[in-house]
Amino acid sequence: MPGQVATLAELDPEELVAQVRAYNPKSNDKLIREAFAYGMAMHEGQSRQSGEPYFSHPVAVAHILAEQRLDDATIITALLHDTIEDTKSTFTEVEKRFGRDVAELVDGVTKLTNLQLSSTETKQAENFRKLFMAMSKDLRVILVKLADRLHNMRTIKHMRPEKQVQKSRETMDIYAPLAGRMGMQWMREELEDLAFHVLNPEARASIIRRFIRLQRESGDVINKITSDIRKELDRAGISADVFGRAKKPYSIWRKMQEKDQPFSRLSDTYGFRVITHSEMDCYGVLGVIHQRWRSVPGRFKDYISQPKSNGYRSIHTTVSGRDGKRVEVQIRTREMHEVAEAGVAAHWSYRDGVRAENPFAVDPAKWLAALTERFENSDDYDDFLEHVKLEMYTDQVFCFTPKGEVVKLPRGGTPLDFAYAIHTRIGDSCVGAKVDGIRVPLWTRIKNGQSVEIITAEGQSPQATWLDIVVTGRAKAAIRRRLREEDRERFIKLGRELARVAFEHVGRRATDKALETAAKQLGLVNTDELLAQLGSAELAARDVVATLYPTAKEGGEIDARRAVVGLDPGQTFQRAECCQPVPGERIVGISYRGKGVMVHAIDCHALEELAEESSRWVDVQWHSGQHAAVHTVSLDVVIANDAGVLGRICTLIGEQKANISDLRFIDRKPDYYRLIIDVDLRDIEHLHAVMLVLEADSDVAEIRRHRDLARAP
């Protein structure tokens, strides 16, 4: 409904009548006007939380349904859906004025409104059963209810904060998955995003900011890729429409959680649709796209030859597009697209005054009838709820223990995720698994409804490779914790030797008393923790020495803890990992509550997001004088894949009096290696010297400073 409704007088039935008549010239204009006038009269004097007349809400719901080209009865039901519940109107009066069909629809919506779907588990199961019973009688009831929820979510900011959270959680858990299961993907995405805005506004804002920055850095990617696809189709003589869009913030967030990756690592954040004139053209488009761009293995699905149960048909493929960016492409005909966009509404929609004949529209009432038939006379509400959730939550997997208990996992979950979901002890001691009675590898992806049995053995412990198998945060955290515990003894032994060497270097001894004092100064619980951090490289031995003997630096070097001037007394600082500033570079500080000051290079892109927060900016500069070679900088280096090259590179760095603190391979090819080398340096001149000597080597193809915005604080 266009614009904000300010007063009751501004509500115009002709706007709605014109919208309906545009797709259904045979609509009953008179009856719609009567329903409009009746609803306005019944709700007279009632207001919404925003202060608007209450009737503005039913009108907005009617407009949402008119956008789906639905029949007169559904539009009229939208106008009257709150009359029986909230006004003096009755079922009998609605039936007398607007017919039995409308009265039953209004009554059905009223009953759904009274169901507390987010209540306790037992009551929730019972109410779910009533919900699906009502839906199975006339599916238009749930169409009105979903439109009702959509408008309420669009105007949720006027509710009390606690009510916003409750409604958003209910929307995320029930109404959004329900809309998706019924094929109304656009509604699911909008409901999820509106709920996400309330439940996690910081995460949503962060993703939007990343999109804006990405667009600023790489230009209008959507238009570029859309143009590329159109050119290829024109060259092949295929007529089709091409559309591109950035994926919704919640969709991106969910993928980040599922893959346990930051935004910068996600590749397919854009989606493209190609709408063709025939099914044959769909496969022709697929051939053109795969011929022009490299397809990503495991990311191809043909829902045309194997449609989804709600009638959805489309070809999905992911390719490495422009500049190596992964993009998802959906290919379908116009009729398939209408069903994909409208879902169940396609079954009820009108065009030119008659019900639209779409060969791909499936009546979801058959799905609902099949689901509810088994439970029509059942009192086993838990069993009913279990099966309903199996049907609705298509992005989750519900599986069972041998005793029949339900375990919920994200899609892609493995037997290891299942084991850790039951108990950490079960996960740690897992040696195998059976799915539906058959022994399977631990990396098997569990499907809905499968029974999983975990096989354990004493003495078994997690393997590092398990981290690549599991998908749940709980399993990953438990595995990492156990691996750290097992490595702890080895790290303590190594840490003691590192401490001995570091202390002897400055003419001191690493006595138990000295180590205990250093641990206390560094805020660690005991000596073992200090030694474990030394052995695992979480703590540098030189920092332990400097804690006790700050004047023991070689050659009168500046203490690294006091390398920056301009701080308040007692204020601490850290170098930002995103830009890794070194002495000699212009810097700026950003204050963080409880964390001190984070020092960034003046040209760091992370500062763009903080431009409006001038109160947090701190004017700092590097201390003049000789700095210790303790400032780590990451170098992105491409070298020839030949014998002895890597060793020579390390020697060149060592000859410059620079220490390599870490080295990791990013890419391995037959002819070259790409790696990130972390080097400890004194200052910007030291950095330039190291880069210059490497750049001069004939086996170094490329070298640049590596900066990672994903590591910004």
3-class SS at 529? helix
What is the DSSP secondary-structure string of 409-420?
EETT--HHHHHH
CA nearest neighbour of 483 among 549, 532, 442: 532
Query: Strand pairing partners for 664?
Result: 676
Contact yes or no for 81/144 (Cβ under 8 A): yes
Say which DSSP state 623 is in: P
User: How do strand 631-640 and strand 700-705 relate by DSSP bridges?
Assistant: antiparallel
Separation between Cα atoms, residue 664 and residue 635, nearest integer Å:
11
Separation between Cα atoms, residue 277 and residue 285, nearest integer Å:
11
Amino acid at 493: K
Q: Which residues contact 313 (CB under 8 A, 6 or more apart)?
A: 303, 304, 307, 332, 333, 336, 339, 340, 360
Task: Give the active site residue among 29, 34, 67, 86.
Answer: 86
User: How do strand 396-400 and strand 406-410 relate by DSSP bridges?
Assistant: antiparallel
Helix runs in 260-344, H state only: 279-292, 334-342
The dihedral sign for the CA sequence 254, 255, 258, 261: negative
Contact yes or no for 557/571 (Cβ under 8 A): no
The dihedral sign for the CA sequence 307, 311, 314, 316: negative
Locus of tokens 């698994």: 433
CA dihedral 294, 300, 305, 309 (to 10 degrees): -150
Separation between Cα atoms, residue 329 and residue 531, nearest integer Å:
52
Count of other CB atoms within 10 angstroms of residue 319: 21
Contact yes or no for 310/183 (Cβ under 8 A): yes
Q: Tokens at residue 222, please?
A: 């959507």
CA nearest neighbour of 255 among 464, 578, 246: 246
Separation between Cα atoms, residue 179 and residue 186, nearest integer Å:
9
Residue 261 has phi, psi (to 5 degrees) of -130, 150
Locus of tokens 């001191």: 508
3-class SS at 401? coil
Q: Tokens at residue 662, please?
A: 């870490």
Helix runs in 506-540, H state only: 512-521, 527-535
Label residue 509 exposed, middle or buried (CB < 10 Å: 0-12, 13-18, 19+): exposed
The dihedral sign for the CA sequence 231, 236, 237, 243: negative
Q: Which residues contact 628 (CB under 8 A, 6 or more apart)?
A: 542, 553, 554, 557, 558, 559, 560, 682
Q: Tokens at residue 205, please?
A: 């804002």
**CA dist 545 → 100, 513, 533 (Å):** 86, 13, 14
Helices and strands (H and E) in the chain: how many? 28, 23
User: How do strand 294-295 and strand 326-333 relate by DSSP bridges?
Assistant: unpaired
Chain centre distance of CA 642? 41
Q: What angle do CA 539, 545, 551 make, to 5 degrees?
A: 135
Element holding 406 (H helix, E strand): strand 406-410
86: annotated active-site residue: yes
Task: Give the active site residue among 85, 258, 279, 453.
Answer: 85
85: annotated active-site residue: yes
Instruction: Kindly list the catalytic residues.
Output: 85-86
